[in-house]
Amino acid sequence: MFLLGAALLHAGATDLYLRYVKAGLQPLLLASGAVLIAAALATAWYERKRNKAAKATAHAGHAHPEPRISWLLVLPLLSLILIAPPALGSYSALRTGTALQQPYGYGRLPAGDPVPLSVVDYASRAAYDHGRSLHGRPVRVTGFLALDHSGAPYLVRMALNCCAADAQPVKIALTGKLPPVLQPDAWLEVTGSYTPKLTHDPVNNGPIPYLKVTSAKPVPTPHDPYDETWNN
């Protein structure tokens, strides 16, 4: 219990927790870790006190220590602390249908030229608002690259409601001026413009809008690889 609490505190105090849950759950992780550590210390104190009382009253019998193999339970916790799993990438994205859904409304575009948009924001405006707010505005979108079986490129961001276990891809098909070499799972910052061209995901027939690329450059993996605008 103590080690699990320590693992939660370690994950919550670093970027590690972003591999598992959305950023908004960080306070709950830290609180859960603190409660587990406090409960573990209280349990250890109680057990120690009980054992002292038992030894004072019992002078016969044999001690039965806990099996040492139980310490193997520590290994999964050490793996949680020491080995950060990679964020979901193109393999998962291509085997899951796009999760794009029509929003209740659209806010004003942020300032900028080009306009910085998330994959979810651009895709929903292009697919369901028919690009009304995007006409004449260059946009800048960041995501990782996925290539289907035919080599067609998609810019993808995994959107999640709660944790990585429920992450689902939102995809943008790319056309225009693309880099000569496309590497799956590479992160790209793409600048381009809206095009009415639309395709459908072969997995679930969901809409996948296109983005006409004017420039693209590789970028490092972002601090938070998941897109949280999904449920905003």
Tens-place pLDDT, residues 196-225: 999 999 999 999 999 999 999 999 988 778
- Between CA 64 and CA 106 the distance in angstroms is 66
* pLDDT number for residue 19: 65
CA-to-CA distance for 203 and 221, rounded, in angstroms?
26
pLDDT of residue 67: 61
Residue 144 above 60 pLDDT? yes
Position with higher pLDDT, 223 vs 108: 108
**Residue 77: CB atoms within 10 Å:** 17
More confident residue, 230 or 107: 107
Domain ranges in the chain are 2-82, 90-231
- Output the pLDDT for position 84: 63
Query: Does the pLDDT of residue 59 top 80, yes or no?
Result: no
DSSP string, 4-28: HHHHHHHHHHSGGGGGTB-GGGHHH
Q: What average pLDDT score do residues 175-200 get? A: 93
**Is domain 90-231 annotated with CATH 1.25.40?**
no
Q: Which of 137, 217, 145 lies closest to 174, judged by CA?
A: 145
pTM above 0.85, yes or no: no
Residue 22 is predicted with a pLDDT of 66
Q: How high is the pLDDT of residue 231? A: 47
Residue 80 or 108, more confident? 108
Element (H, E) at 124: helix 119-128
Mean pLDDT of 134-148: 94
Per-residue pLDDT of 76-100, as tens digits, reads: 667 666 666 666 788 888 998 999 9
Q: Which of 1-15, 48-62, 131-145 has the lowest mean pLDDT?
A: 48-62
Residue 74 binned pLDDT confidence (cut-offs 50, 70, 90): confident
What percentage of the chain carries pLDDT values higher than 90? 38
Q: pLDDT-based confidence at 63, cuts 50/70/90?
A: low
Share of the chain above pLDDT 70, in %: 76
Q: CB of 199 within 8 A of CB of 208? A: yes
Average pLDDT taken over every residue of the chain? 82
pLDDT at 61 over 70: no
pLDDT at position 232 over 50: no
